[in-house]
Amino acid sequence: MKKIVLTVNGEKRAIYVEPNDVLLDVLRDKLGLKSPKCGCERGDCGACSVLLNGKSVRSCLVFAIEVDGCEIETVEGLSQNGLSVVQEKFIEMNSFQCGFCAPGVIISTTELLRKNSTPTREEIQEALAGNLCRCTGYTPILEAVEKVSHDNKENHNHNINKLYSSSDIGGSDE
């Protein structure tokens, strides 16, 4: 067992892990974060996605011991001050059915919008290509992200910076 220290959703946590503990299992079973889901376990489906130092990764393909000193965000963190703009739009557009893929999709979308607040349809498709959904046929998911992109274009820059800066990951009440 080795002690690792990591920041999870803004909170510093110290835990003991074995070298072969997978990050997904540690997040779910040791840290109680159930939003990352266990789907394919080989990096294909994207259901286990979390943000590691701001970048989306497959938590099923990372050893927990590797993230010593790193920062991790899950959907629990993104919505700790209320639903994010992305989540609100997914609800409004009825983007999900069973919802199993939703946390991964929210993570990938958040990463995309923080880098590029007004992505094109093509950019959205590339960003979400690694999140498999077996219910919706993707259309309502892509449309929701497109809508956020469209709103951002209209809202303009200072609002956008406010919405997606990491200091205010919870989004606003708009």
Instruction: Check residue 4 for interaction with another protein (CB under 8 A).
Output: no
126-145 footprint of another protein as x/- string (CB under 8 A): xx-xxx--------------
The correct pick among 22, 105, 148, 163 for binding another protein (CB under 8 A) is 22
Q: Binding-site residue total for another protein (CB under 8 A)? A: 34
Task: State whether residue 56 is helix, strand or coil.
Answer: strand
Closest approach, Cβ 123 to another protein, in A, equals: 10
Separation in Å, CA 48 to CA 93, 102, 133: 23, 10, 13
Contacting residues for 27 by C-beta, under 8 A, at least 6 apart? 8, 33, 36, 50, 59, 72, 74
Closest approach, Cβ 31 to another protein, in A, equals: 16
Task: State whether residue 27 is helix, strand or coil.
Answer: helix
Tokens of 90: 């997914």
Q: Which is nearer to another protein, 93 or 111 (CB)?
A: 111
Q: Which is nearer to another protein, 20 or 154 (CB)?
A: 20
C-alpha radius of gyration, the chain, whole number: 16
Q: Which is nearer to another protein, 32 or 173 (CB)?
A: 32
Q: Which is nearer to another protein, 38 or 83 (CB)?
A: 38
Task: State whether residue 124 is helix, strand or coil.
Answer: helix
92-121 footprint of another protein as x/- string (CB under 8 A): ----------------x--xx---------
The correct pick among 81, 120, 125, 165 for binding another protein (CB under 8 A) is 125
Q: Interacting stretch for another protein, rule CB under 8 A, among 42-50, 74-82, 94-102, 144-152? A: 42-50
* Beta strands 71-73 and 2-8, pairing class: parallel
Contact 74, 169 (CB under 8 A): no
Contact 111, 127 (CB under 8 A): yes
Give the end-to-end CA distance of the chain in Å, rounded to a whole number: 46
Residue numbers at the binding site for another protein (CB under 8 A): 2, 18-22, 25, 38, 41-44, 46, 49, 52, 55-58, 60-63, 65-66, 108, 111-112, 125-127, 129-131
